[in-house]
Amino acid sequence: MNSGDEAGSGPAISGKRTTIYDIAQTVGTSASAVSAVLNGTWRKRRISQKLADRISAVAVEKGYSINLQASVLRRERSNIIGMIVPKYDNRYFGAIAEQFEEGARKAGYFPVITCTQRDPNLELEAARMLLSYQVECLIVTGATDPDRISDLCHAAGVKVVNLDLPGSKAHSVISDNHQGALELTRVLLSVRSAQTGRDECLYFVGGRTNDHNTSERVRGFLQAHSERGMTVPAANVLACGYAAQKAYDSLSALGHVPKGIFVNSTISLEGAVRWLTDLPAQDRQDILYCCFDWDPFAALMPNCVGMAQQDVPALLERVFAWVATGKTSTTVELVPCRLRLQQP
Amino acid sequence: MNSGDEAGSGPAISGKRTTIYDIAQTVGTSASAVSAVLNGTWRKRRISQKLADRISAVAVEKGYSINLQASVLRRERSNIIGMIVPKYDNRYFGAIAEQFEEGARKAGYFPVITCTQRDPNLELEAARMLLSYQVECLIVTGATDPDRISDLCHAAGVKVVNLDLPGSKAHSVISDNHQGALELTRVLLSVRSAQTGRDECLYFVGGRTNDHNTSERVRGFLQAHSERGMTVPAANVLACGYAAQKAYDSLSALGHVPKGIFVNSTISLEGAVRWLTDLPAQDRQDILYCCFDWDPFAALMPNCVGMAQQDVPALLERVFAWVATGKTSTTVELVPCRLRLQQP
DNA sequence: CTGAAAGCGCTTACAG
DNA sequence: CTGAAAGCGCTTACAG
């Protein structure tokens, strides 16, 4: 009695999930037919509407859900697209992750993102994992060593594109850091000089000079000064790394209060703003800064002259366009940044 | 000649990836041995050190990477843990996603997160996808209809826990919204009354009253008023939804300028702060607000009295602790919020 | 219009 | 100390 016919008795009891064989058996047909009906190729196989309906009904009734591990294993394509991203808890990378998922779904992929905390070992480890899950394509965002990951992907025959930070072994889509920094510095220089009546060198805070993006931004920063005939002392460039605390510390360590600051990234900005709020009110008054990167609240802070917003939709559009071509290249594609200036 | 022995000739040429059979063949052993060596069970199978070394060397040489789709299909456990999250581009959910990955890796899982934009259909769709990828456990964060997802998981025999928004069919871990809102409202009321010399009802902006968290926060908001003998007019609760623009619009539509505002979430705060900055400077002067949720920059805005920060590490700690027990429950676990007050 | 069979790349008892 | 074999749940030519 306890081993009676359970056909039509609803979802499988814990443990065993319903398979196409279960469905085939209760319908009285073959697994092939069930598979074809469930994956939409049944018209092509000229299965009768009647059988298709019956199969679909039983599938729903039993709470069937395809086992994609099996499906992917059998098919040639996995339909999975992977992304490596340094952080989520950051407006820029948060927006990248979010819009990447959206774009991936639109392009018919299942997106899998993993966050690697700017740790080179984690990056490599994560890339290996994603390759093991048979991603068809890997987007490598802001990786410290994109070329090693490119090698891995090439060896596995997997498409790869670098985003945000360029590499030399794959196509790269990055913001035009030089242009953005140049324009942003020009604005801050001119606002400062209108305020004080004279030209004065700015400070640059955050990042590392051996990082491509930082060095491009420093280049724009210096160029904007030299356009005005100014030469920036080396001591004005505080490339102290990315941690917020580092920005705080190196500003505090200066021994005087710089009045015009170019902050490199919102992460450094957290430190800079904390430093600012810890100052006595009178010192704080006439300090102005700008920041490369955009954050909705940071943009509205009182001492902020403007921010350079990276164009996330355009960056991702370029990435997906590149993925679609399927070509290989080692070109660097530059996407301009948008300046968002504080209303005076 | 073009079909010569390619053993030791490096990674597979495009297309075919190296399998354990390839390695077995070039080493001159069986796939079983290769599998055992590569997944670490070889000591138990008493394979000789010599053979193990040889296999490992060839695996590295050929750039072997396991096919986890095949591995997971064969094994009983997938080791995959899934999470559904409404957004990445938000400090709270960004932090949740980031710390979830960290915790998952520590617990030996491969984390897969998908972002569902507060869209009930996408939530369901994403849950189905993750189940199809054989997740062992699903964390459902801030879902509009967690119970339908719980049903899906139960049918598939998959552990499920709700995070941030409670459900009635699975264990839920959420912030103590009532306590946080109560304490936060008390602070704003007392600062306002110290400023003006009299008690005045605050406005509540953002969210939906049929959303559990919003209604709990409204309850705390009202309770703080009634503690002071005040009754809040219904018109003071602007539960206008979550979009920033909605907050902007409903504040603008008031026809007067409220002086004390409880903003429900940083998303609504973006609208509220924009509304604030669009006001004439004299109106802006003495407006104070607080906000449920924390954002590093928003916390430093001039008119901000304080924010309620949800305790993300504690929330996730509870989630993973629950996952580890493997029990089922429909209990709601409350995690207190931290008040972060503006330095005066 | 439909089914039997092979095979995707692993893992794991089982039998030496 | 090691290998042959079965099987995880699908998909897809192939043969009716």
User: Which residues 52 to 71 of A reach strand C, CB within 7 A?
Assistant: 70
Contact yes or no for A111/A150 (Cβ under 8 A)? no
Q: What is the pLDDT of residue B2?
A: 36
Residue A262: which of A164, A185, A323, A314 has the closest Cα? A185
B13 has pLDDT over 80: no
What is the residue-averaged pLDDT of chain B? 91
B55-89 pLDDT, tens per residue? 999 999 999 999 999 999 999 789 999 999 999 98
In chain B, residues with a C-beta closer than 8 Å to the C-beta of A302 are: 302
A10 has pLDDT over 80: no
A77-114 pLDDT, tens per residue? 899 999 999 999 889 999 999 999 999 999 999 999 99
What amino acid occupies position A179?
A: Q
Kindly report the nearest CA distance between residue B68 and chain A, in angstroms. Answer: 5
The C-alpha atoms of residue A228 and residue B278 are separated, in whole angstroms, by 34
**Measuring CA to CA, how many Å separate A12 from each of A22, A63, A283?**
10, 8, 70
B249 has pLDDT over 90: yes
Question: For A269-289, what is the mean pLDDT?
Answer: 90
Lowest-pLDDT range, A177-181, A240-244, B124-128, B268-272? A240-244
Quickly state the pLDDT bin for A15 (edges 50, 70, 90): low
Q: β-pairing, B338-341 with B304-309? A: antiparallel
A8 has pLDDT over 70: no
Name the pTM for this structure: 0.91
Cβ pair B301:A296 closer than 8 A: no
Integer-rounded Cα radius of gyration of chain B: 27
A261 has pLDDT over 80: yes
Q: What is the pLDDT of residue B286?
A: 85
A3 has pLDDT over 50: no
A298-318 pLDDT, tens per residue? 888 888 999 999 999 999 999
- Phi-psi category of B176—alpha, beta or left, where left has phi over 0 and alpha has psi -120 to 50? beta
Quickly state the pLDDT bin for B281 (edges 50, 70, 90): confident
Kindly report the nearest CA distance between residue B98 and chain A, in angstroms. Answer: 6
Q: Determine the nucleotide nearest to A30 by Cα–C1' distance.
A: C3
Cβ pair B88:A73 closer than 8 A: no
**Measuring CA to CA, how many Å separate B333 from each of A100, B176, B310?**
33, 9, 14
* Residues recorded for chain B: 344
Domain annotation for chain A: domains and CATH numbers: 3-73 (1.10.260), 80-169 (3.40.50.2300), 177-309 (3.40.50.2300)
What amino acid occupies position A85?
A: V
B140 has pLDDT over 70: yes
Lowest-pLDDT range, A224-238, B39-53, B271-285? B39-53
A227-239 pLDDT, tens per residue? 999 999 999 999 9
Say what percent of chain B tops pLDDT 90.
76
Residue B144: which of B115, B124, B114 has the closest Cα? B124
For every residue of A259-291, DSSP letters joined together read SEEEEESHHHHHHHHHHHHHS-HHHHTT-EEEE
Q: What is the pLDDT of residue A142?
A: 94
A317-331 pLDDT, tens per residue? 999 999 998 788 899
The C-alpha atoms of residue A286 and residue A307 are separated, in whole angstroms, by 18
In chain B, residues with a C-beta closer than 8 Å to the C-beta of A149 are: none
Q: Look at the alpha carbons of B155, B157, B160, B166 in this order and tell me if their dihedral is positive or negative.
A: positive
Query: Quick check: helix, strand or coil at residue B181?
Result: helix
Q: What is the pLDDT of residue B4?
A: 35
Residue A32 (CA) to nucleotide C16 (C1'), in angstroms, measures: 38
The C-alpha atoms of residue A103 and residue A138 are separated, in whole angstroms, by 14
Residue A309: which of A340, A334, A264, A272 has the closest Cα? A340
| Smallest CA–CA distance from A109 into chain B, residue | B129
Q: Which residue has the tokens 């990234």?
A: A265
Contact yes or no for B175/B335 (Cβ under 8 A)? yes
Q: Look at the alpha carbons of B48, B49, B52, B57 in this order and tell me if their dihedral is positive or negative.
A: negative
Contact yes or no for B242/B205 (Cβ under 8 A)? no
Say what percent of chain A tops pLDDT 90.
75
Report phi then psi at B328, rounded to 5. -110, 150
A25 has pLDDT over 80: yes
Question: For A251-272, what is the mean pLDDT?
Answer: 94
- A46 CB and strand C closer than 7 A: yes
Contact yes or no for A340/A309 (Cβ under 8 A)? yes
For residue A98, give the nearest of B11, B67, B89 by CB distance. B89
**Measuring CA to CA, how many Å separate A121 from each of A127, A145, A158, B243?**
10, 10, 20, 39
Q: Which residue has the tokens 């026809």?
A: B255
The protein residue nearest D6 (Cα–C1') is B74
Q: Determine the nucleotide nearest to A33 by Cα–C1' distance.
A: C2
Supply B241's token pair: 């939804």
In chain A, residues with a C-beta closer than 8 Å to the C-beta of B97 are: 88-89, 97, 115
A31-47 pLDDT, tens per residue? 999 999 998 887 787 78
**Residue B92's Cα: distance from chain center in Å?**
8
Question: For B196-201, what is the mean pLDDT?
Answer: 91
Q: Which residues contact A126 (CB under 8 A, 6 or more apart)?
A: A84, A114, A116
Q: Which of A65, A106, A114, A340 to mutate to test the interface with B (most CBs of B within 10 A)?
A: A65
Supply A140's token pair: 């490598």
Contact yes or no for A143/A81 (Cβ under 8 A)? no
Q: What is the pLDDT of residue B343?
A: 67
Q: What is the pLDDT of residue B268?
A: 95
Contact yes or no for B162/B172 (Cβ under 8 A)? yes
Q: Which parts of chain A are beta strand (E)? A: 80-85, 110-115, 137-141, 159-163, 171-175, 203-205, 237-238, 260-264, 288-292, 304-309, 332-335, 338-341
- B88 CB and strand C closer than 7 A: no
What amino acid occupies position A312?
A: V
A2 has pLDDT over 60: no
A210 has pLDDT over 50: yes
Q: What is the pLDDT of residue B327?
A: 84
Lowest-pLDDT range, A8-17, A38-47, B143-152? A8-17
